[in-house]
Amino acid sequence: MKTYIIFTPEITNMGGAQMYTANKVQFLKKKGWNVQVFFPKRKGDVLIPELKEFENNLILELGIELRFMTRSMKKSAFQRIECFCKDSDEIVVESQIINHSFLVEEIAAYLGARHIINTLDERIPICFKKQNVFFEYKLRRWEFQNAGERRLKQVFGNDYKQEFLAFKNNMVYNCSNVVSEDSQELTFSDSDSTILSIGRLDKPYIIPMTEEIKLFATKHADKSMNVIYVGGSFTGEEEGKIKSILESVNNVNLYMLGYTFPVPFNVISIADVAIACANSVNVTADKDVPTIVADINDSMAIGVYGYDTENKFARVLEPKIAISKLLEAVLIGKHYPRKGILTDSMSDENEAFERELAFIERSKNNTGYYDVKSLMSLKTRIISRLVWWKYKILDPKRLDPRRQVI
């Protein structure tokens, strides 16, 4: 039996990582793999049907920084994971977040599995030189999957080497199959135009984008607008901020749908323009809605996807544009007419997963693992242990998610 284990941040609610993981689970099962998904945090319901079978695979220990983990914590987590792959003659584990990859390397060593780093991080944390040595080790063994030039430069920073491009591996994920024509249609007020936002509300661009929508709406106070948000946030803070910004704008009808899966087709079809980032761009662009791409780094617009840009995450050569100016161009200037083409991106998705399977074959004969303990000096380990015991007495919730109410 072949087993594929995915370590992802969380499977609740709906987002690009969840859709990617759900689609990958389906694909791997069709290929005969036993698939398991583990995650360290849960807040909300599991909305995507293909992930519901994993809702009990919450392992809180996975959310503890490696430097704070004790042997007993590791043993507890590792043995639980091992139960799902005891009869396997081939095991592959995948870490989707850079900060999790160090612990997952230890899990792989414990299971005798191959560990593929497949970073889906929207923002890469600053990595230290010692950590970059580990990432270079994985890269040169063909165990660093999502390794486009931009991502490599983000991960390695000043330690980036041009020779890393020999191991470049660009992956394309669409994950736009979140729209259903069978879902119950939602009703909205009549308006001159409809602006749609697709994506988690705790993404950095959301509040600046909302301010830009307010600026545009205020400038065109004679026109009524529906502004629809599909998505939510963990804390609910962003929902409150959005309401405080837009509810005072008289010509705006605000609709906050929260995490909605699947998204009713009529929500997409009535939109005159959409604003999104990352893989959420495809949800509306594939349905022929002019979609403004927000840069993940500076929260300004990159352009309209498929017209001015093919980038969904960050600008490369595109100029910075205020989102309100592009709203003006789409809704008032009518410079971005619909193309009259609907795209089915799942065929592209399956091709991408086929390339992923081909990629993991390149590391099939690898042996050995990186000693991730060497990433921490004796001084760091001692200080971390002292910090752990301090907060275990004073504020145990601070470092140990197992003590938090779920």
Is the pLDDT score of 30 beyond 60?
Answer: yes
164 and 196 co-located in one domain: no
b/e map 91-110, b = 16+ CB within 10 Å: bbbbbbbbbbbbbbbbbbbb
The number of distinct structural domains making up the chain is: 2
pLDDT, greater one: 230 or 66: 230
Per-residue pLDDT reduced to its tens digit, 48-85: 889 999 999 999 888 888 877 888 889 999 999 999 99
Is the pLDDT score of 183 beyond 80?
Answer: no
What is the Cβ-side half-sphere exposure of residue 370, based on CA atoms within 13 angstroms?
25
d(CA 215, CA 235): 26
Q: Does residue 196 sit within a domain? A: yes
Q: Is the bond preceding residue 262 a cis peptide, omega within 30 degrees? A: yes
Closest by alpha carbon to 195, among 262, 240, 249?
249
N- to C-terminal Cα separation, the chain:
34
Task: Read off the tokens for 256.
Answer: 């906050």
pLDDT, greater one: 364 or 394: 364
Is the pLDDT score of 400 beyond 60?
Answer: no
Reported confidence tier of residue 372, pLDDT bands at 50, 70, 90: very high
Which of the listed residues 314, 339, 364 is the one where a domain comes to its end?
339
Strands 34-38 and 301-304: unpaired
Is the pLDDT score of 406 beyond 50?
Answer: no
Task: Read off the tokens for 73.
Answer: 């914590």
297 and 368 co-located in one domain: no
Q: What is the pLDDT of residue 184?
A: 73
Boundaries of domain holding 218: 179-339
Is the pLDDT score of 219 beyond 80?
Answer: yes
21 and 140 co-located in one domain: yes
**Mean pLDDT across the chain, nearest whole number?**
88
CB 401 within 8 A of CB 40: yes
81 and 218 co-located in one domain: no
Q: Does residue 280 sit within a domain? A: yes
Per-residue pLDDT reduced to its tens digit, 318-343: 999 999 999 999 999 999 999 887 76
Q: Does residue 93 sit within a domain? A: yes
233 and 169 co-located in one domain: no
Give the position of tokens 């074959």: 361
12 and 76 co-located in one domain: yes
Is the pLDDT score of 177 beyond 80?
Answer: no
365 and 381 co-located in one domain: yes
Is the pLDDT score of 399 beyond 90?
Answer: no
d(CA 65, CA 78): 15
Is the pLDDT score of 300 beyond 50?
Answer: yes
Q: Does residue 262 sit within a domain? A: yes
Closest by alpha carbon to 210, among 195, 189, 188, 223?
195
Is the pLDDT score of 386 beyond 50?
Answer: yes
158 and 192 co-located in one domain: no
Amino acid at 229: Y
Q: Does residue 237 sit within a domain? A: yes
Strands 252-258 and 225-230: parallel
Per-residue pLDDT reduced to its tens digit, 13-24: 777 788 889 989
56 and 74 co-located in one domain: yes
Which of the listed residues 339, 371, 391 is the one where a domain comes to its end?
339
Question: Domain of 229: which CATH number?
Answer: 3.40.50.2000
171 and 78 co-located in one domain: yes
271 and 298 co-located in one domain: yes
194 and 321 co-located in one domain: yes
pLDDT, greater one: 151 or 139: 139
Is the pLDDT score of 385 beyond 60?
Answer: no
Q: Does residue 346 sit within a domain? A: no
